[in-house]
Structure 1
Amino acid sequence: MLEIKYGLIYKLAIRNQQSAKIADLKMMKSLTASRQGIPFTIYIFLILLFSLSLKAQDIHFTQYYNGPLNVNPALTGFFKGSQRFTLQNKTQWRSVTTPFQTIAASFDMPVIKRFIKRDIFGGGVAVFRDQAGDSKFGTTQINFSFSYIKPLSRISKQFVSFGIQAGVAQRTIDYSKLIFDNQYDGSAFNSGLDNNEQFAKNNFVFLDLSAGASWYCIVQKNFVINAGAAMFHINMPKQSMFGNNNIRLDPKLVLHGGTQLGISNKFQLIPSLMFMKQGAYSEFNIGSLAKFIKVPNGGKYMALSLGMFYRYGDALNFVAGMDYKDIFAGLNYDVNLSKLLPASNAKGGLELSLVYIINKNKRSYIRKIPCPIF
């Protein structure tokens, strides 16, 4: 099974925290593609550089604020409106290797259960599909989220919410796309040679549990602030294709916060930040959107958003978005600044997001629920 581990790591160098390894991977693939050949002992040495561990990393989006159920279960149903639909799609590492693709969608809504005390219960469902590298290493997951939103005063200037999330996920891999040392013919790799490996299975399924809490405060009419914390993968599900019970998915801590500052009726600043830590890896995002608002005589809400975010040690993100009535569309491009820069030529990922909020109960208490800005 030693060759299997090396082969997996050779083809599946995962995500931003391992970007330097991906750069080395591109160099190795170029050497083998040129068919100039490298000594077998040197090849094994290079492979060992990748053999420390293979840990599954969670998906991430630059426009994390447009996928609230993936940030914190406590944000389920926490918005102005009756129903919310979101869709996100991200492509990254196209300039380095086979592109990594991530698509996510969600639906959630608030439900009034105790009108007198104005407590709100929220429910929602989120799904995503992530596919990484030549081996088509993929994750498909569906999560069900539930939240309880509590106003801290009758005039509803402060809210706290608590949420839980339970999901089922499947990981898959295409072994036919992997390269093993048995396919080395003495001068280069030969894809026509049998890898002589016996694989136990090419997929597994696991249960995933998460929870979180958030706080929202309307300081004054044009100034709001919010913060939250969540813990994902509380149950540390098993993550082995070969029945190794010691390989588990590390819990992920998420801390997020932000403000919405109305400079005027036509201009808002929306700074936000998010910190994530999972095992030995961490990610810190900080930035701001500037929103330019226009309400024509017809009364249809329109706004243009422009902004920039920085993912510490990894990328600079340029963001643009457009609001029209109850629909928001956002687009961003990530400029890579990590150790992968020589291989990526500063090219990172392109991401698109859509948010649609339906307002059926325009006169009900639901309309008074604030919409957190991270």
Structure 2
Amino acid sequence: MRYYLSIILSVFSLLAIGQEGQFSQYYASGQLFNPAYIGTNPNFSLNSNYKRTGTKGSENFLELMQASVSYPLKRRTSKEYQTGAVGAAFWRESRGFQGLYTAQKILLTGAYTVRLTRISNQNIIFGLQGGIVQSQISDSNFEWGSQFSRYIGFDNALVGESISTEAVFFPTFNFGVVYTTFDNGNYYIRDRSLLLGLSVDYLNEPEIRSNELGLATRNRIFKAFAYSSFKISPRWSLSPTGYALYSDGATQLNAGMYFSTFVSASRAFNAVFLQAGAWYRYNDSVILLAGFKLNEISIGASIDLNTTSFDINEALGNNLPSYEISLTYNLDLSRTPGNVSSPIF
């Protein structure tokens, strides 16, 4: 019994200090990355990510998934320009032996774009996000020794032990701001672009109440990112990037680099855009990524050389590789290629 109580307390402590699984393809999960980020995409967008570490029979098991949709808001005067975007996202996490700890959230996002000047491509985008989070410790997938029959083996009609807790619900509010600038409104002939972003998750620091374990607080998570892209040849571009997180005394630092190229002519009917890169998460992991974009569809894949859940590997002794895939569909509603340069993933 002491073993099971230690599992419950360790998992619940994750809630108290703000630990949360995160995707490695940061830009492919933009609504979770920064609420203002959806304002950089002028297209109707459908996006999903799936990430997994280990097997359900392992204490180091981690499974993440998300699906999101965003719709741009535009205004037309003498020229069409984007005024913001709205979106929605669903996120789910399962962690621990047989997915003992589960969490999921539904988020609604709104972004508003402010043009700094009318003649240059410089914008500041403000994003606000709100939603509901549900977390629970559940043993519904467990098979207890008391449920095994000498005649038929496992019998789910027999009553087993229980370490489950009631589901906990709490609201969350997130805020973000993104600065964007680029040299040419036409994406296909653009040479330089820059994105800078700041955001805060759990701005309201919600209290999490559990009848079994009492009261805890979800700490704020502060995030900052920078991304720059520039041409190194007519078809090749180089994109250094950085990402930092801070929560309750814990800091995570990430540095990355992307290489991108058009396989065919950039203006061809079926232009193929390839991208490969890597991230180094300081004192934690190396992430290798590759992907391609064909017209409206983007697909990315990545591997982490160990787990990547905001320093949680140190607490649980994780060192297993993580695998992630992403799929994005962008429908250009205006057929004007004025979107901000950003990674596939």
TM range (shorter): 0.7 to 0.9
Q: Which runs of 5 or more residues in structure 2 are unaligned?
A: 144-157, 185-189
Using the alignment, how far apart are the partners of 1:196 and 1:67 within structure 2?
35
Residue number in structure 2 paired with 1:204: 168
Counterpart of 1:228 in structure 2: which amino acid? G
Residue number in structure 1 paired with 2:154: none
Q: Give the C-alpha shift of residue 372 in structure 1.
A: 4.2
The 3 A distance-change label for structure 1 pair 285 and 115 is farther
Q: CA RMSD in A?
A: 3.3
Using the alignment, how far apart are the partners of 1:155 and 1:327 within structure 2?
31
Task: Tell me whether 1:121 sits opposite 2:84 in the alignment.
Answer: yes
Using the alignment, how far apart are the partners of 2:250 and 2:92 within structure 1?
22
Task: Tell me whether 1:362 sits opposite 2:332 in the alignment.
Answer: no
Instruction: Tell me the alpha carbon deviations over residues 157-208 of structure 1, each in whole angstroms, 9 at most, x when there is no partner.
Output: 21111010001111122146789xxxxxxxxxxxx998698x7x42011110
Instruction: Tell me the alpha carbon deviations over residues 279-301 of structure 1, each in whole angstroms, 9 at most, x when there is no partner.
Output: 23222111111112122595311
Instruction: Tell me the alpha carbon deviations over residues 249-307 of structure 1, each in whole angstroms, 9 at most, x when there is no partner.
Output: 00010101110112223111122111011223222111111112122595311022121
Residue number in structure 2 paired with 1:324: 294
Task: Tell me whether 1:91 sits opposite 2:78 in the alignment.
Answer: no
Counterpart of 1:232 in structure 2: which amino acid? D
Counterpart of 1:325 in structure 2: which amino acid? N
TM normalised by structure 2 equals 0.80
The 3 A distance-change label for structure 1 pair 115 and 240 is farther
Q: Choose the corresponding residue for 1:215, options 168, 175, 179.
A: 179
CA contact (8 A) 2:18 2:221 kept: no
Residue number in structure 2 paired with 1:100: 62
Secondary structure, aligned partner of 1:65: helix
Residue number in structure 2 paired with 1:351: 324
Task: Tell me whether 1:281 sits opposite 2:244 in the alignment.
Answer: no
CA contact (8 A) 2:199 2:223 kept: yes
Using the alignment, how far apart are the partners of 1:196 and 1:263 within structure 2?
60
Residue number in structure 1 paired with 2:277: 307
Residue number in structure 2 paired with 1:8: 8
Using the alignment, how far apart are the partners of 1:112 and 1:80 within structure 2?
8
The correspondence of residues 148-159 of structure 1 with structure 2, limited to 5 A, is 148-159=112-123
Residue number in structure 2 paired with 1:232: 201
Instruction: Tell me the alpha carbon deviations over residues 99-155 of structure 1, each in whole angstroms, 9 at most, x when there is no partner.
Output: 210001111121125747956021000111111112531111110000111221223
Q: Give the C-alpha shift of residue 77 in structure 1.
A: 3.2
Using the alignment, how far apart are the partners of 1:196 and 1:124 within structure 2?
39
More strand by share: 2
Using the alignment, how far apart are the partners of 2:303 and 2:37 within structure 1?
26
CA contact (8 A) 1:79 1:371 kept: no
Residue number in structure 1 paired with 2:135: 171
Counterpart of 1:123 in structure 2: which amino acid? V
The 3 A distance-change label for structure 1 pair 149 and 173 is same
Q: How many residues matched? A: 316
Task: Tell me whether 1:253 sits opposite 2:222 in the alignment.
Answer: yes
Q: Give the C-alpha shift of residue 5 in structure 1.
A: 4.7
Residue number in structure 2 paired with 1:336: 306
Counterpart of 1:303 in structure 2: which amino acid? F
Secondary structure, aligned partner of 1:264: coil
Using the alignment, how far apart are the partners of 1:2 and 1:116 within structure 2?
70
The correspondence of residues 29-44 of structure 1 with structure 2, limited to 5 A, is none
Secondary structure, aligned partner of 1:368: coil
The 3 A distance-change label for structure 1 pair 113 and 292 is closer
The 3 A distance-change label for structure 1 pair 73 and 145 is same
Using the alignment, how far apart are the partners of 2:13 and 2:207 within structure 1?
18
Q: Percent identity?
A: 20
CA contact (8 A) 2:166 2:211 kept: no
Using the alignment, how far apart are the partners of 1:109 and 1:213 within structure 2?
18
The 3 A distance-change label for structure 1 pair 65 and 359 is same
Counterpart of 1:104 in structure 2: which amino acid? Q
Counterpart of 2:94 in structure 1: which amino acid? Q
